[in-house]
């Protein structure tokens, strides 16, 4: 889905599909250098990270394995609650593995702070974080991504996997959701 298909529901485009793919390619080169001699386990955080994972993993020229977790901190609103629940756990034993968490966006970082601790407590050898996007509120947590796509302003965005009430995930670009869309629904 493209911006023009839902132009009345969106404000500006912050990151185009082309910009995102080019940046993920650069990050893939960094990851290849950092994981020489290791087969990292990429852990995607469902559902938002599906597009990041698909494009980032395919840009890599080293062996990796992939698994998925679903955690919930948001519900259908646009505010972070700080409450994290596991909705779907890993199939993989992370003990001794070099884990790379693949995320769509860091807002407060509360979700990732919790997830990093959770994976370390299961005996992961290392836990690093790749995120496509980061918002300014991330400075309040101690979460610093090892691999960052783009810093964006503190606006609610959709597309490239990011949703509002499960909509817009298949939008190719990252765009600001027009506030009238969620103002009407609350
Ligand atoms: P955090 O715990 O505050 O960092 O929240 C991270 C999660 O909130 C992300 O994985 C997204 O699922 C969701 N989220 C944060 N900001 C946005 C946004 O602008 N659009 C859509 N989802 C968002
Ligand atoms: Mg998410």
CA of 83 to the centre of ligand 2 (A): 13
Ligand number with the minimum distance to the CA of 160:
1
Interior/surface letters 5-34, b for 16+ CB within 10 angstroms, e for the rest: ebeebbbebbbbbeebeebbeebbeebeeb
The answer to whether residue 114 scores a pLDDT higher than 60 is: yes
* Peptide bond between residue 47 and the one before it cis (omega within 30 degrees of 0): yes
CATH code for 17-152?
3.40.50.2020
Ligand number with the minimum distance to the CA of 157:
1
Catalytic one of 104, 107, 163, 173? 107
* Nearest one of 116, 101, 114, 119 to 56, comparing CA atoms: 101
The answer to whether residue 78 scores a pLDDT higher than 70 is: no
Q: Which residues line ligand 1 (CB under 6 A)?
A: 48, 73-74, 80, 103-111, 156-158, 162
Range of lowest pLDDT (41-50, 75-84, 107-116, 136-145)? 75-84
**pLDDT tens-digit readout, 10-57:** 999 999 999 999 999 999 999 999 999 999 999 999 999 999 999 999
Q: For residues 116 and 144, is the Cβ–Cβ distance under 8 A?
A: no
- The beta strands (E) that lie in the chain are given as 10-15, 41-46, 65-72, 85-88, 98-106, 126-134, 147-151, 157-158, 174-177
CA of 107 to the centre of ligand 1 (A): 5
CA of 9 to the centre of ligand 1 (A): 19
**pLDDT tens-digit readout, 127-175:** 999 999 999 877 777 889 999 999 999 999 999 999 999 999 999 999 9
Indicate which atom in ligand 1 lies nearest the CA of residue 107. 4
CA of 28 to the centre of ligand 2 (A): 21
Q: Where do the structural domains in the chain lie, given as residue ranges? A: 17-152
* pLDDT band, residue 79 (cuts 50/70/90): low
The answer to whether residue 80 scores a pLDDT higher than 80 is: no
Question: Residue 167 corresponds to which tokens in the numbers above?
Answer: 């909509």
Is 107 among the residues known to form the active site?
Answer: yes
Ligand number with the minimum distance to the CA of 81:
1
The contacts of residue 103 (CB under 8 Å, 6+ apart) are: 45, 48, 49, 52, 111, 112, 129, 130, 131, 132, 145
Indicate which atom in ligand 1 lies nearest the CA of residue 113. 2
169 vs 186 pLDDT, higher one: 169
DSSP calls for 27-41: HHHHHHHHTTT---E
């Amino acid at each position: 889905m493209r911006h023009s298909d839902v132009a009345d529901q969106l404000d500006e485009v912050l990151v185009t599909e082309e910009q995102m793919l080019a940046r993920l390619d650069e990050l893939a080169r960094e990851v290849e250098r950092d994981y020489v001699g290791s087969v990292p386990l990429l852990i995607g955080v469902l559902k938002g990270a599906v597009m990041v994972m698909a494009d980032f993993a395919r840009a890599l020229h080293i062996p990796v394995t992939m698994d998925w977790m679903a955690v919930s901190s948001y519900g259908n609103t646009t505010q972070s609650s700080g409450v994290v629940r596991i909705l779907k756990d890993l199939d993989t034993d992370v003990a001794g593995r070099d884990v790379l968490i693949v995320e769509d966006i860091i807002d407060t970082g509360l979700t990732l702070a919790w997830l990093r601790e959770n994976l370390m407590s299961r005996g992961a050898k290392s836990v690093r974080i790749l995120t496509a996007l980061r918002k300014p509120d991330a400075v309040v947590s101690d979460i610093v991504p090892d691999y960052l796509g783009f810093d964006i302003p503190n606006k609610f965005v959709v597309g490239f996997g990011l949703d509002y009430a499960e909509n817009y995930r298949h939008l190719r670009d990252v765009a600001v959701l027009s506030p009238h869309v969620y103002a009407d629904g609350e």
